Amino acid sequence: MEKRETFVQAVSKELVGEFLQFVQLDKEASDPFSLKELLDELSRKQKEELWQRLKNLLTDVLLESPVDGWQVVEAQGEDNMETELGSKMRKSIEIIYAITSVILASVSVINESENYEALLECVIILNGILYALPESERKLQSSIQDLCVTWWEKGLPAKEDTGKTAFVMLLRRSLETKTGADICRLWRIHQALYCFDYDLEESGEIKDMLLECFININYIKKEEGRRFLSCLFNWNINFIKMIHGTIKNQLQGLQKSLMVYIAEIYFRAWKKASGKILETIENDCIQDFMFHGIHLPRRSPVHSKVREVLSYFHHQKKVRQGVEEMLYRLYKPILWRGLKARNSEVRSNAALLFVEAFPIRDPNLHAIEMDSEIQKQFEELYSLLEDPYPMVRSTGILGVCKITSKYWEMMPPTILIDLLKKVTGELAFDTSSADVRCSVFKVGHILELVDNWLPTEHAQAKSNTASKRRVQIHDTRPVKPELALVYVEYLLTHPKNRECLLSAPRKKLNHLLKALETSKADLESLLQAPGGKPRGFSEAAALRAFGLHCRLSIHLQHKFCSEGKVYLSILEDTGFWLESKILSFIQDQEEDYLKLHRVIYQQIIQTYLTVCKDVVMVGLGDRQFQMQLLQRSLGIMQTVKGFFYVSLLLDILKEITGSSLIQKTDSDEEVAMLLDTVQKVFQKMLECIARSFRKQPEEGLRLLYSVQRPLLEFITAVQSRHTDTPVHRGVLSTLIAGPVVEISHQLRKVSDIEELTPPEHLSDLPPFSRCLIGIIIKSSNVVRSFLDELKACVASNDIEGIVCLTAAVHIILVINAGKHKSSKVREVAATVHRKLKTFMEITLEEDSIER
């Protein structure tokens, strides 16, 4: 009792120090004193006395230190704060902050039967000084702002004034800060907006700030922000038009991902509106979006964003009452006109909206009227399929398939069959537009048609049983494997279409894979029977189908990789087929016969190697697969004449060299064995190219120049990932051996010693050496490793004899003349010099013995 009385009495000019101490204790979490609890315990008389004392103290403080002077003190800077005037101001602000804290706590204990006139006067005074407070007094501003919000929420007298003050302050601060706290607080008092008279001049600043909210990302992304924005539509009809204009002007700069939020704001505003406000939102906003969705050019950056807004409303019709009727009413005057427009792009845009919003109907119509309306829309759908503009037909195709899959139960059977026959029987063969044909093969019926058009190993009886959700269309056209392959390739090549294809039932995908695999038998017969006709595919189609079979098997392996090597084993079987059926056949044939079938077997090999390279590159091929691939590569080099595969083979060696570090499950021995095989394949390949140089120098030179890029990439991969390992040294030894052998061969043909001139430039070397050394000197790291290996080869007598050592000197001279000069050159030159000196001493000694 004594503490309560002491607190009440402390609220005075004379005891202001004690009053401030009480308030400070309430702020300290460690102190048991609670201002709220104390106020709860006060009697009615004590509360009324307290509020009167608060009013008197507030009045006295403001009379002694008027607010007008505070702005002057702050403007004069921090030095002036130390003066008597500045000190008095600081003390006044401290007292006013304490008074505000007590008033704020008092709001929760006000009883209607109590006389809180003095408290009301305090609130009015504080509300009045809020705008005049210096910018630095954020703490006091925030406290008074909280008081205004609380007073508004309590619905106490003069709440309109406090609500307007809090609204403006929170609105301004929410636009200045990035945190969402002020947006949430503003939403709590959003009804205060309606206290402002829209038509008064003082509301001009409010309008500008409110419109700025519609282009503020924080408002758009935050739930409370979107609620706030949607409620602004209810302020005034004219303001709705300003809001819509602001949003439209900003659409181009907004991210597409934000459009769902923009649509949500419009939808919430529409849902809560009534009367003239509702009419304005529908006619000036939603219908305006509909108009622009139809008439904006597709290339406009705004078009897709308008579509996003409309899509939101289309999806809401399934879950919100009234949306379907609204869409029917607003689309009626513009959509059907758009579908008949002269401009083809307008028709196409209208078709997109029509298909997405289908069925566009008024649920209040009687059954007969409803049936008539839907029948008209089916006729419109059929008209889209016959439109002269390909983009409209494509949209119609996608629409028909989407609508028939969703609404087949409500469609008359004759209409359903007519629509699907039009799509699959005519538009699938639309010769005027590839896009139209491809649109057919973007939809759940295409895989069945492709299967029907592809030849199969065994003729299968076609089931006449209609599925529960689909009408069977009996296509009387003959088998069209070429067209089927075009569509399968289209589906596999484009990522989105590929996703659709691979999402088909597994059984159907396996059936398609099996149908494509029949190409192998046709390719065998084409190779083995000159002039014979294949059973299912033509030569070009068989090669295309074989490629698609290989590619599809890998896409399926990627999709179902968690189940093991189910589809990778199919590619492995293809590799075995290549060995046993193709390479073994080629090995036994005469050169003239092979020339006639060169295109077939070369393309088979290229296709297989290309797909295998991709398998390794994406990490699907394990060590066993890579080892089998390398072994088959050796078989290809031993069997096939020509070097059409060299570039592919180098890419494969590069990918395996890189992926060998990724396979964590392999043992060191397995990795070493794999890399040893890589080196052997590379050596074999370089030997084959070197032989071609001797037989056909010009062709060999063209070949080597054509593979410079993959050869450099392979050498660089080995250099960067396997330095100082057996594969690194093996590859470098192979690169050394080629030039040494060629230059030595050239030196032996020299009959006169005067013709021996050391090379000064790369161009002075013979062609094979010139190509290889030219690739090596592109990288300083490779040059250093190459010289180290050359030094080791000389020191270990792998390069011996005066001719071979002279060839090594020629290589050193060319490298030293290049841009990557290295100290290694001096070291290897010294090693060669020592060997030559030793060789001369032995030669002189032998001559002396002979004499």
Q: Write the pLDDT tens digit of every residue in 375-401.
A: 888 888 889 999 999 999 998 888 887
The total number of residues written for the chain in this structure: 851
Most confident option among 169-183, 405-419, 476-490: 169-183
Domain membership flag for residue 755: yes
Query: Residue 730 belongs to what domain range?
Result: 723-850
> What value does the mean pLDDT take over residues 793-805?
90
Give backbone dihedrals phi and psi of 813, rounded to 5 degrees, phi first. Answer: -60, -40
CB 659 within 8 A of CB 614: no
650 Cβ contact partners less than 8 Å away, ≥ 6 residues apart: 685, 707, 710, 711, 713, 714
- For 184, 244, 300, 379, 844, the CA distances from 268, given in Å and listed in that order, are 17, 14, 27, 34, 105
CB 235 within 8 A of CB 273: no
Range in 47-61, 73-87, 346-360, 764-778 the model is least confident about: 73-87
725-750: string of b/e by CB count within 10 Å (b at 16+)? eebbbbbbbbbbbbbbbbbbeebeee
Q: Quick one: tokens of 504?
A: 């088909």
User: What pLDDT band is residue 471 in, cutting at 50, 70 and 90?
Assistant: very low
449-480: string of b/e by CB count within 10 Å (b at 16+)? bbbbbbbeeeeeeeeeeeeeeebeeeeeeeeb
Question: What would the pLDDT profile of 699-720 be if each residue is shown by its tens digit?
Answer: 878 888 888 899 999 999 999 9
> What value does the mean pLDDT take over residues 28-55?
84
User: What pLDDT band is residue 418 in, cutting at 50, 70 and 90?
Assistant: confident
Q: Is the peptide bond before 66 cis (omega within 30 degrees of 0)?
A: no
pLDDT of residue 533: 64
- Would you say residue 138 has pLDDT above 90? no
- Would you say residue 461 has pLDDT above 60? no
Domain membership flag for residue 769: yes
String of DSSP letters for 65-99: S-HHHHHHHHHT-GGGGGSHHHHHHHHHHHHHHHH
Domain membership flag for residue 822: yes
162-201: string of b/e by CB count within 10 Å (b at 16+)? bbbbbbbbbbebbbeeeebebbbbbbbbbebbeebeeeee
User: What pLDDT band is residue 145 in, cutting at 50, 70 and 90?
Assistant: confident
Q: Is 103 left (phi over 0), alpha (psi -120 to 50) or beta?
A: alpha
> What value does the mean pLDDT take over residues 805-827?
86
Domain membership flag for residue 768: yes
- Would you say residue 285 has pLDDT above 90? yes
Domain membership flag for residue 845: yes
Q: Interior CA angle at 526 toward 525 and 530, to 5°?
A: 105
pTM, to two decimals: 0.56
Question: What would the pLDDT profile of 652-698 be if each residue is shown by its tens digit?
Answer: 999 999 875 555 566 788 888 999 999 999 999 998 888 877 788 88
- Would you say residue 797 has pLDDT above 60? yes
Distance of CA 189 to the CA centre of its chain: 40
Domain membership flag for residue 791: yes
Q: Is 724 left (phi over 0), alpha (psi -120 to 50) or beta?
A: left
Residue among 323, 395, 318, 310 at smallest CA distance from 352: 395
Count of structural domains, the chain: 1
Average per-residue pLDDT for the chain = 85
pLDDT of residue 43: 86
Distance of CA 586 to the CA centre of its chain: 47
String of DSSP letters for 257-297: GGHHHHHHHHHHHHHH--HHHHHHIIIIIIHHHHHHHHHS-
108 Cβ contact partners less than 8 Å away, ≥ 6 residues apart: 36, 39
Domain membership flag for residue 782: yes
User: What pLDDT band is residue 602 in, cutting at 50, 70 and 90?
Assistant: very high
Please state, in angstroms and rounded to a whole number, the distance separating the CA atoms of residues 663 and 642.
33
Please state, in angstroms and rounded to a whole number, the distance separating the CA atoms of residues 230 and 265.
5
Question: What would the pLDDT profile of 541-598 be if each residue is shown by its tens digit?
Answer: 999 999 999 999 999 998 888 777 778 889 999 999 999 999 988 888 888 888 888 8
Q: Quick one: tokens of 295?
A: 């008439």
In percent, the amount of the chain with pLDDT more than 90 equals: 39
> What value does the mean pLDDT take over residues 765-783?
90
Domain membership flag for residue 729: yes
Range in 495-499, 712-716, 735-739 the model is least confident about: 495-499
- Would you say residue 532 has pLDDT above 70? no
Higher-pLDDT residue of 243, 64: 243
Please state, in angstroms and rounded to a whole number, the distance separating the CA atoms of residues 266 and 846.
104
Residue type for position 29 = A
CB 648 within 8 A of CB 609: yes
CB 588 within 8 A of CB 644: no
CB 776 within 8 A of CB 735: yes
- Would you say residue 465 has pLDDT above 80? no
Q: Is 686 left (phi over 0), alpha (psi -120 to 50) or beta?
A: alpha
> What value does the mean pLDDT take over residues 719-728?
91
Torsion from C-alpha of 19, 23, 29, 34, nearest 10 degrees: 90
